[in-house]
Amino acid sequence: MLQRNTLTGLTACLLALAAPASAQQDGRSLLQQLDQDHDKTLSWDEVRSVVHNGFAALEADHDNTLDSKEAAKAGINQKTLRAADPDHDDPLDEGEYTKLAKQRFDAADRDHDGTLSRAELNSPAGRALTRMLRVQP
């Protein structure tokens, strides 16, 4: 029994680890992956819950900030990085990264209903957001 519980725990753990990494390809699979309440749209809360994973996956040297090389893996170019880093200390911390994700979320939410539909996720701003969420280490 103990062994079985351990195994179940391990499986759950593996599934949890696999979730962000398998959220790839198109906006549709990401939508299905992150849509916790199954209303076929993504709320900011649903998106925010994986922003941390995206940040952690990018953060190769574990100094808790993203330098331009790390940020580039999420499609964040120098210009965006500078704009998202108002104190111009160059690296982006997780708060600034989260703020950038929120800006992209708001930009993608064209009808301003606070959620992203599949079409909104597939817009340029939506794609910029999903690039930040499905980054691979």
**CB 79 to Ca ion: min, Å:** 19
**Count of residues touching Ca ion (by CB under 5 A):** 10
Question: In angstroms, rounded to a whole number, what is the distance separating the alpha carbons of residues 5 and 62?
Answer: 33
Stretch that binds Ca ion, among 12-20, 32-40, 47-55, 125-133 (CB under 5 A): 32-40
Closer to Ca ion by Cβ: residue 10 or 85: 85
Candidate residues 26, 45, 89, 111; the one interacting with Ca ion per rule CB under 5 A:
111
Interacting residues with Ca ion between 55 and 84 (CB under 5 A): 59, 61, 63
Stretch that binds Ca ion, among 22-30, 82-90, 97-105, 115-123 (CB under 5 A): 115-123
Does 113 contact Ca ion by CB under 5 A?
A: yes
DSSP, residue by residue, the chain:
-HHHHHHHHHHHHHHHHHHHHH--SSHHHHHHHH-TT-SSSEEHHHHHHHHHHHHHHH-TT-SSEE-HHHHHTTT--HHHHHHH-TT--SSEEHHHHHHHHHHHHHHH-TT-SSEE-HHHHTSHHHHHHHHHHS---
Closer to Ca ion by Cβ: residue 9 or 82: 82
**CB 90 to Ca ion: min, Å:** 11
Q: For 67-84, b where at least 16 C-beta lie within 10 A, e where not — what string?
A: beebbebbebeeebbeeb
Candidate residues 35, 93, 94, 106; the one interacting with Ca ion per rule CB under 5 A:
35
Which residues of the shown chain bind Ca ion in the complex (CB under 5 A)?
A: 35, 37, 39, 59, 61, 63, 109, 111, 113, 120
